[in-house]
């Protein structure tokens, strides 16, 4: 009887709990993440699984069938800021983040919105802390919860079923210019998250939080503190690679995007960002490698204990972050099987490292590189040209790649069948000119590099030449041979991350507004769809009830469109933000694209040349990194030349007092006088009249 009672209660318990478990939303755990290939229909984590290969085993959509791919459903977002997120799809539900950290859950088949969570960012306060748009790259899922990092530095856990917040932890000091744009990763019940801000004088770190409680478990600083205070032996050792009083300036080294995990080796890999300020003379007396800037660091996920590092750019001062996406794969190199880690960081070299030890295996440039003469195969160090160190060489250096990188955050994908890695690249140069009047400023980037000096000349002929030398490309890279297998040129130098599939396809959204499927072996375009907006986010694939889908967050934004608008004039910058989902035979349509020509009707330019010059100088300190070099926008934020008469009338209220802070346009009254704001206005009006004259000359 006793036995029966127990047996019954077990049975009853099973009957009561099992169906719930089976239906629990986002019930992701270690087993599922390690065995992700056994459930090819799901996209469980940021890079699909811990290897971050972004390779979908699905092949219903393949070279033969892709011509029949059509829109299944779409969802329109109410923001015009950038979309960079990778959607997760878990057991029929899709989870995505839009601009300003809003999280959405959709029925992955019908597109029905299940819930929406808005963490209500104070946009006016956060706006000046963002180098590169109000973006987020996605959520992480773990045992019924979703995790999202916010632009104001919170890490928030949500109930995956309802979208209700369960806990929220502040991971940054809000008095400093930190922000989170990256997706969390989850290892053994710990949520790993870093942050950004290395353009603003912060000290980088990444941390682990308990997934259930939100309690911080450990933190790894990427830059040593003042040696008089530093207690961590690893950072005491690292401090020998620094000079001067770097800790007073932050030092940089933010871990703002890439991570990967090898469960067999139990190593978590984290990509580390650039120095702060950029200029090494100011940051570190022009000396030293400055560990762990621009490095890949391997740590134990349980404790944060340091295991190894590889520094891609010793002594970096070009914003050459190593935060770009990392892929783990097993490759045969010189006849030997190697467990490798691959990265194409901003500095222009494609790296293959031994992920057990961090040993350099190989590295070749994937775009034109002029700051180094290759990499020493024995030491793994780049042969940096002395003149590239503009801060100590005493003269400017026109570098390739630019601070936007030969490749940036846009994720790569790896197809084990072709053995190729697919990623978007950029040929672009940038003049690094040391800022001789450097002083730490609020509400703007602090680089130690003159953005006024680096701004494009107003001469249209020079601008045309610079633009002609700036190109985008989709590259299929052979990591064993370290050379390009094929490539496709793109007129816009800012394009999307990639998805590889077992159907032999590579999918990529591009700056001209097309989602394209390429033959993974040859690069031949097999299908494309006009998504009505430039795209930068990476696509994913999933299946529900035996039907395969392709999904992409379609929206224009990020660093290049914000800063160098003149170089993306071929992009589709209307920014109609949508989630687009495709399937074979999909027949859904988008509403007709309405593009209204912008009216250029500026007040007449009456200010003195002196005032305009002052306005230009101040504009390139406080305004250009969002509204664009030389007052030419790349389509995300308003092109000020086209401002309405109303905006010119209320200029002071907007710029000084924050009339439009709800859009992320902060009040700059603490750093700009009314006279300076008026000088900026005079410069913008002058640039608007330049454009008006150019347009009239063409007619």
Burial 583-601 (b: 16+ CB within 10 A, else e): bbebeeebeeeeeeeeeee
Least separation in angstroms between CB 274 and Ca ion: 4
Closest contact distance (angstroms) between CB of 196 and Ca ion is 8
- The distance of closest approach from Cβ of residue 200 to Ca ion in the complex, given in angstroms and rounded to an integer, is 10
Burial class (CB in 10 A: 0-12, 13-18, 19+), 245: exposed
SS3 684: helix
Pick from 316, 319, 435, 614 the residue near Ca ion by CB under 5 A.
319
Is residue 408 within the footprint of Ca ion (CB under 5 A)? Answer: no
Q: How many residues bind Ca ion (CB under 5 A)?
A: 2
Contacts 24+ apart (CB under 8 A), 478-484: 478/419, 478/420, 479/329, 479/331, 479/340, 479/342, 479/350, 479/352, 479/419, 479/420, 479/421, 480/331, 480/332, 480/333, 480/352, 480/419, 482/350, 482/352, 482/362, 482/363, 482/364, 483/364, 484/366
- Annotated active-site residue 519? The verdict is no
Q: Which of residues 73-92 bind Ca ion (CB under 5 A)?
A: none
Which one of 91-99, 313-321, 586-594, 646-654 is the stretch in contact with Ca ion (CB under 5 A)? 313-321
Residue from 152, 319, 435, 678 carrying the catalytic annotation: 319
**Which is nearer to Ca ion, 152 or 319 (by Cβ)?**
319
Q: Give the C-alpha separation, 602 to 610, whole Å.
A: 20
Report the nearest approach of Ca ion to the CB of residue 323 (Å).
Answer: 8
- Residue 30 near residue 263, CB atoms below 8 Å: yes
Q: Find the part of the chain contacting Ca ion (CB under 5 A) among 20-28, 100-108, 274-282, 625-633.
A: 274-282
Interface with Ca ion by CB under 5 A: which range of 269-277, 334-342, 424-432, 553-561? 269-277
DSSP one-letter string for 583-650? EET----PPPP--PPPP--PPP--S-HHHHHHHHHHHHHHTHHHH-GGG---SSS--GGG--HHHHHT
CB of 561 to Ca ion, least distance (A): 16
Binding segment for Ca ion (CB under 5 A), chosen from 157-165, 186-194, 315-323, 513-521, is 315-323
Burial grade of 21 (CB within 10 A; 0-12, 13-18, 19 or more): exposed
159 closest CA partner among 172, 174, 148:
148
* Residue 311 touching Ca ion (CB under 5 A): no
Least distance from Ca ion to the Cβ atom of residue 276, Å: 8
List phi, psi (to 5°) of 535: -125, 140
Nearer to Ca ion, 399 or 684 (CB): 399
Question: What does the angle CA 61 – CA 63 – CA 69 come to, to the nearest 5 degrees?
Answer: 45
Give min distance, CB of 575 to Ca ion, in A. 23
CB nearer Ca ion, residue 405 or residue 634 = 405
Instruction: Tell me the window of 182-190, 200-208, 266-274, 628-636 that interacts with Ca ion (CB under 5 A).
Output: 266-274
- Closest to Ca ion by CB, 274 or 510: 274
Does 274 contact Ca ion by CB under 5 A? yes
- For Ca ion, the closer of residues 289 and 319 by Cβ is 319
Closer to Ca ion by Cβ: residue 254 or 548: 254
* Smaller CB separation from Ca ion, 256 or 306: 256
* Least distance (Å) between residue 492 CB and Ca ion: 21
Q: Compute the least distance from the CB of residue 253 to Ca ion, in Å.
A: 10
Task: Give the DSSP letter string of 3-34.
Answer: HHHHHHHHHHHHHHHHHHHHH-TT---HHHHH
Between 319 and 364, CB nearer to Ca ion:
319
- Classify the phi-psi angles of 546: left when phi > 0, otherwise alpha if psi is within -120 to 50, otherwise beta: left
Among 267-275, 387-395, 431-439, 674-682, the segment contacting Ca ion (CB under 5 A): 267-275
CA-nearest of 486, 510, 488 to 497 is 510
Cα–Cα distance between 33 and 636 in angstroms, integer? 36
Nearer to Ca ion, 273 or 566 (CB): 273
Give 336's strand partners: 333
Q: Give the C-alpha separation, 398 to 430, whole Å.
A: 5
Element (H, E) at 581: strand 578-584
> Where does this chain bind Ca ion (CB under 5 A)?
274, 319
Residues marked as catalytic: 319
């Amino acid at each position: 009887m006793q036995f029966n009672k127990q047996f019954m209660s077990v049975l009853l318990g099973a009957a009561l709990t099992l169906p719930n478990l089976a239906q629990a939303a986002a019930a992701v755990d270690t087993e599922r993440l390690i065995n992700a290939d056994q459930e090819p229909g799901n996209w469980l984590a940021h890079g699909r699984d811990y290897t971050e290969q972004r390779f979908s085993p699905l092949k219903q959509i393949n070279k033969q069938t892709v011509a029949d791919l059509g829109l299944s459903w779409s969802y329109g977002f109410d923001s015009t800021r950038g979309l960079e997120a990778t959607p997760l799809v878990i057991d029929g539900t899709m989870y995505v983040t839009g601009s300003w950290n809003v999280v959405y859950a959709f029925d992955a088949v019908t597109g029905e919105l299940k819930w929406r969570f808005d963490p209500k960012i104070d946009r006016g306060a956060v706006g000046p802390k963002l180098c590169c748009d109000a973006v987020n790259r996605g959520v992480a899922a773990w045992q019924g919860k979703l995790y999202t990092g916010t632009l104001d530095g919170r890490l928030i856990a949500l109930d995956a079923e309802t979208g209700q917040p369960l806990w929220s932890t502040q991971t940054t000091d809000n008095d400093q210019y930190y922000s989170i744009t990256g997706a969390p990763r989850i290892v053994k019940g710990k949520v790993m998250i870093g942050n950004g801000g290395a353009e603003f004088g912060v000290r980088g770190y990444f941390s682990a939080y308990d997934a259930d409680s939100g309690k911080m478990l450990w933190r790894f600083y990427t830059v040593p503190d003042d040696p008089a205070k530093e207690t961590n032996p690893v950072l005491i050792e690292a401090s020998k690679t620094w000079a001067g009083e770097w800790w007073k300036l932050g030092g940089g080294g933010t871990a703002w995007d890439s991570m990967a995990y090898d469960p067999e080796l139990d190593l978590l890999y984290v990509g580390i960002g650039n120095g702060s300020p950029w200029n090494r003379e100011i940051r570190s007396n022009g000396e030293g490698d400055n560990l762990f800037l621009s490095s890949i660091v391997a740590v134990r996920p349980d404790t944060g204990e340091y295991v190894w590092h590889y520094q891609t750019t010793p002594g970096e001062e070009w914003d050459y972050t190593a935060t770009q996406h990392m892929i783990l794969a097993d490759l045969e190199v010189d006849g030997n099987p190697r467990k490798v880690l691959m990265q194409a960081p901003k500095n222009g070299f494609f790296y293959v490292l031994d992920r057990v030890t961090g040993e350099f295996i190989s590295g070749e440039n994937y775009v034109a590189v002029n700051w180094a003469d290759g990499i020493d195969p024995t030491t793994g160090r780049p042969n940096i040209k002395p003149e590239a160190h503009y801060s100590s060489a005493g003269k400017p250096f026109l570098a390739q790649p630019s601070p936007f990188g030969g490749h940036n955050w846009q994720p790569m994908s790896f197809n084990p069948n072709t053995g190729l890695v697919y990623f978007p690249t950029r040929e672009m140069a940038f003049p690094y000119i040391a800022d001789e009047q450097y002083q730490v400023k609020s509400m703007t980037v602090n680089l130690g590099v003159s953005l006024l000096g680096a701004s494009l000349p107003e001469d249209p002929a020079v601008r045309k030449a610079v633009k002609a030398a700036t190109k985008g490309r989709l590259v299929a890279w052979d990591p064993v041979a370290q050379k390009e297998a094929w490539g496709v040129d793109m007129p816009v130098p800012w394009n999307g991350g990639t998805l590889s599939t077992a159907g032999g396809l590579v999918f990529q959204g591009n700056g001209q507004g097309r989602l394209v499927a390429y033959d993974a072996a040859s690069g031949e375009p097999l299908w494309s769809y006009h998504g009505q907006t430039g795209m930068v986010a990476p696509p994913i694939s999933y299946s529900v009830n035996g039907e395969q889908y392709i999904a992409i967050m379609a929206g224009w934004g990020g660093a290049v469109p914000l800063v160098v608008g003149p170089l993306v004039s071929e992009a589709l910058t209307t920014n109609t933000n949508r989630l687009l989902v495709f399937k074979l035979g999909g027949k859904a349509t988008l509403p007709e694209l309405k593009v209204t020509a912008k009216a250029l009707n500026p007040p007449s330019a009456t200010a003195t040349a002196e005032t305009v010059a002052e306005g230009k100088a101040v504009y390139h300190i406080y305004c250009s990194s969002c509204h664009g070099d030389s007052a030419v926008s790349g389509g995300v934020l308003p092109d000020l030349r086209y401002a309405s008469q109303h905006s010119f009338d209320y200029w002071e209220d907007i710029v000084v007092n924050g009339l439009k802070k709800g859009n992320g346009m902060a009040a700059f009254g603490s750093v700009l006088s009314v006279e300076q704001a008026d000088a900026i206005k005079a410069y913008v009006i002058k640039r608007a009249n330049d454009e008006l004259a150019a347009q009239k000359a063409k007619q």
